[in-house]
Amino acid sequence: GGWNNLRISFENILTLAALSGRTLVLPPEQSMYLLYAKKGDKRNGYRQYTDYFNMTDNSDFLRRVPIISAEEFLRLEGGDDGFVPLNGYDETKKQHLLDVAKGCEERKKAELFCEDLYDHYLAHGQLQPLISEPVEKQNCFVFDKDVFLYGNEYISKLSEDVQSRIQTYCNQRPPVYYNKTMHDAPVWHFETMDLKWRLLTHSYALLFFTDPV
């Protein structure tokens, strides 16, 4: 549990950002489960994934996966023509979301509740299409060029060999195919604090490529 669960989910999200050509928006700084503040901690226990992963100083990685903070994302894309426009809110609500983007708590009664920002993301984007818990509802994520180009109706036209390999890999898990609807969604939001949406499956057991080349 704890950090290891966070790490597995985050590594899956990094992989999906690289595969889909997206910019990764980090969550706001916040306390992380079981990573408690130490005496004299000037950040009051708030942490960020960049504290543990060498990403922002890794030029090779950043060429593949651009990374910005939640605050940067909201300021860049919160305009009228942005991905997550704030124009439907009054000035108090706008400032609240900007404050949440700087740092928040996963506590409903908190003044800066993280989910307020995440609900805003969901209002303008798509929730992740994958379920990893409970086991009987897990998915596998399939990348196939023809299904991407021609839509899910092409699934039945896949060759017997490809369908057999998908069946072998996914076993009892229903496959979810990466498609243009997912690709064109302006925002993908990963709700990994929710037990249903945690991605506690390593990428090599979650993602299948019908043409690995």
Residues 84-103 have a mean pLDDT of 96
pLDDT for the residue numbered 69: 94
pLDDT for the residue numbered 49: 87
On whether the CB atoms of residues 179 and 151 are closer than 8 A, the answer is: yes
pLDDT for the residue numbered 45: 79
pLDDT for the residue numbered 55: 80
- Mean residue pLDDT across the chain: 90
- pLDDT tops 70 at residue 93: yes
pLDDT for the residue numbered 33: 77
Residues 86-98 have a mean pLDDT of 96
pLDDT for the residue numbered 40: 79
pLDDT tens digits, 175-192: 999 999 899 999 999 988
pLDDT tens digits, 19-74: 999 999 999 998 887 777 777 777 777 888 888 888 878 888 888 999 999 999 99
pLDDT for the residue numbered 82: 96
The amino acid at 1: G
Helix, strand, coil percentages for the chain (3-state, nearest 5): 45, 15, 40
Q: Which of 176, 184, 182, 179 is nearest to 149 (CA)?
A: 179
pLDDT tens digits, 117-165: 999 999 999 888 888 777 778 899 999 999 999 999 999 999 999 999 9
Q: What confidence tier does 1 reach under pLDDT thresholds 50, 70, 90? A: low
On whether the CB atoms of residues 187 and 128 are closer than 8 A, the answer is: no
- pLDDT tops 80 at residue 90: yes
Q: Which distant-in-sequence residues (6+ apart) come within 8 Å of 201 by Cβ?
A: 8, 12, 132, 138
pLDDT tens digits, 62-77: 889 999 999 999 999 9
